[in-house]
């Protein structure tokens, strides 16, 4: 009895979904813009995006030739690695702590910072979670 009701509902649902599909097709057909001015603007915008991408590519190529830029990129990578290593070391130490939450305040060059450590090994600095990276 209940199975029959479920089957009837599923059959009705299939009909409704098919009708919905047809309505969506009709809506899409109605919403399509066939205006020539619109098509011209759309084509122009596409060409402009391509020109912008080409300009950005050329700019990056010029930057890559610059020694100072390369030094900055290397410094960035080194600092990111250093930060990742420090975060990994911090989580290694936190892993050894008792499973209870604690909070502390500390001063840094950028001002005071509030640090919270949760039992599930989550660290929050000024309320923002410090993500554990692999």
DSSP sequence for 49-65: HHHHHHHHHHHHHHHHH
Over residues 81-108, the mean pLDDT reads: 82
Which tops the pLDDT comparison, 113 or 82?
82
At 2-37, the pLDDT tens digits run 788 888 888 898 899 999 999 999 999 999 998 999
All residues at 6 or more sequence positions from 118 whose CB lies less than 8 Å from its CB, including other chains: 101, 124
Over residues 45-73, the mean pLDDT reads: 94
Which tops the pLDDT comparison, 49 or 134?
49
- 99 secondary structure, DSSP code: S
Distances in Å between the Cα of 117 and the Cα atoms of 126, 128, 134 are: 11, 11, 19
């Amino acid at each position: 009895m209940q199975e029959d009701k479920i089957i009837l509902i599923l059959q009705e649902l299939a009909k409704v979904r098919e009708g919905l599909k047809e309505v969506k097709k009709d809506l899409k057909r109605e919403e399509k813009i066939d205006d020539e001015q619109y098509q011209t603007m759309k084509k122009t915008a596409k060409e402009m995006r391509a020109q912008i991408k080409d300009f950005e590519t050329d700019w990056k190529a010029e930057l890559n030739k610059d020694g100072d830029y390369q030094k900055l990129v290397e410094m960035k990578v080194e600092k990111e690695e250093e930060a990742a290593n420090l975060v990994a070391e911090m989580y290694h130490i936190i892993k050894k702590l008792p499973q209870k939450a604690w909070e502390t305040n500390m001063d840094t060059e950028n001002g005071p910072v509030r640090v919270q450590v949760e039992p599930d090994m989550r660290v929050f600095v000024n309320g923002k979670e410090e993500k554990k990276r692999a």
